[in-house]
Amino acid sequence: MTMTEQLHALGSILAQGSLHSLFQPIISLSERRILGYEALSRGPSNSPLHSPLALFCVARQAGRLNELEIACRQSACKRFSEQALPGKLFLNVSPESLLETTHQPGRTLQMLREYGIAPSQIVIELTEQAPTDDFQLLQTALHHYRDMGFSIALDDLGAGYSSLRLWSELRPDYVKIDRHFIDGIHQDALKREFVGSILQIAKASRAQVIAEGIELPEELAVLTEMGVDLIQGYLLCRPQEHPPIEARLMLAKPDSTSVSLNEDASDLSALLNEQPAVAQDTATAKVLEAFRSQANLNSLAVLDGRGQPIGIVHRHSLSDVLLKPFATDLFARKPISRLMSDDFLAVELSQSLQQVSRLLTSRARQRIEEDFIITQNGNYLGLGRVIDVLKLITELKIQQARYANPLTLLPGNVPIQQCLTRLLQQQRESVICYVDIDSFKPFNEMKGSVLRKNRQNDTPMFYLGFSGNEAELRAHLDDESVIDEENRT
């Protein structure tokens, strides 16, 4: 197809408004709900510019990129509004279009008014396809969007020309990790290190990480274990004109038959405190009285009319506000929604203790006295305490160290018997695999001799993976009967 024909096809698409808008959900694992949708544009199905790569490449070459992006934005807003899709709308914008002299500020805001979409629902997703030199001008443009109430996302982190500098300069609300680092992450330790570093930087910059391009259950499992909460990809849902509006339709139900030797329970029942909640229109004075009458009450969840949490009130935060001069008189009759915090963690009852622990540690502002909310299918059940999570995690680690084989770190007879007993009591249908490894005794003896040799040479032994400290390991090694007993087992 000649360049002239491509330009003609582009002109026809823009003149006729024949773009197609598809939507791909972005899901919050902790809340099991849809955070929002990324809008993706396509040309007409019978057009040589159906592919977005060809469509935007031709527009860039023709100097009509800004015009095309505005048309895509309008189509996405219209379809999003018509379907009344929940959550946020992620709109792709290239930095070069923002820096074009023909770019007209205010067009997007006018468009949102036309389709009845609140600015707080819009996330400007910055997609870097070409080098960006004028960071100051780009920062000014994005501050303009922020002032209008939009959020900012940085797309394809790790793939662009200067994405790390963009992150540092622009401080986005969301950061999307490039698909390259998600692909096969369960088989690539270096990719896991990269994603782990991104999570640490995001924690410091108070940005939320979105893992996009997830296609395999193994990838999702690793990302979940690492503490990634926001996910997107073909495994969950392909881009569609009419996407699902409920996350449960895309998330696999928790496997009620799975049993972990590392956890005492398959859900968070042990952490659940069935504390009462308050409605969002409850007077502040009534909430204050509840705290005064219950000395051990640290937090109260705030619910909407459907019984779903929309905020949380912490005792210390409420006290800090009401200690200010005239604050009690000013807020006493106001609804508690005025003083609640919407920066809260809500987890599903079916999630594991390890998952909740990672979510808590990934929250930069989480305080040990602040509670988190436990839900079931999005509905409020009760509260959980951070200190209880720490206690249970510590107990599990101690139990693992006590009963694990010091050489292989495999579970010993006690946790295996506990697991079998639990399965029998719960009458679960289960499969047990017994593996008999030939010549394992010489291998075990060789590892034992290596440990003893390293002890004599004062060589650090932590690389062997022992879960205790050095003193505990030396205590094991000083008792030759421990090694002999393990060899006989």
190 CB neighbour count, 10 Å cutoff: 9
The segments of the chain whose pLDDT lies below 70 read 1, 99-105, 128-134, 158-163, 252-267, 362-369, 399-400, 402-403, 405-409, 426, 440-441, 443-489
Burial class (CB in 10 A: 0-12, 13-18, 19+), 246: middle
How far is 476 from 172, CA to CA, in rounded Å?
Answer: 50
pLDDT in tens, 128-164: 665 556 677 777 778 878 888 999 998 877 555 556 7
Q: What is the pLDDT of residue 209?
A: 94
CATH number of 3-249, picked from 3.30.9.10, 3.40.50.150, 3.30.160.250, 3.20.20.450: 3.20.20.450
Count other C-beta atoms under 10 Å from residue 415's C-beta: 18
Longest dimension (CA), the chain: 84
| CATH fourth-level superfamily of 269-391 | CBS-domain (3.10.580.10)
pLDDT of residue 323: 73
Residue-by-residue DSSP string for 215-263: -SHHHHHHHHHHT--EE-STTT---BSS--S-GGGTSPPP-TT---TT-
Where do the structural domains in the chain lie, given as residue ranges? 3-249, 269-391, 406-488
Where residue 409 falls (left for φ over 0; alpha for ψ -120 to 50; beta otherwise) is: left
Please give the angle made by the CA atoms of 149, 152 and 154, to the nearest 5 degrees.
175
pLDDT digits (tens, 9 = 90+) for 378-434: 889 999 988 888 888 887 777 667 667 666 667 777 777 777 877 777 677 778 887
DSSP structure class, residue 188:
-
For the chain, report the end-to-end CA distance as a whole number of angstroms. 72
pTM here is 0.57
Instruction: Note the pLDDT of residue 127.
Output: 78
How far is residue 387's CA from residue 372's CA, in Å, rounded to a whole number? 11
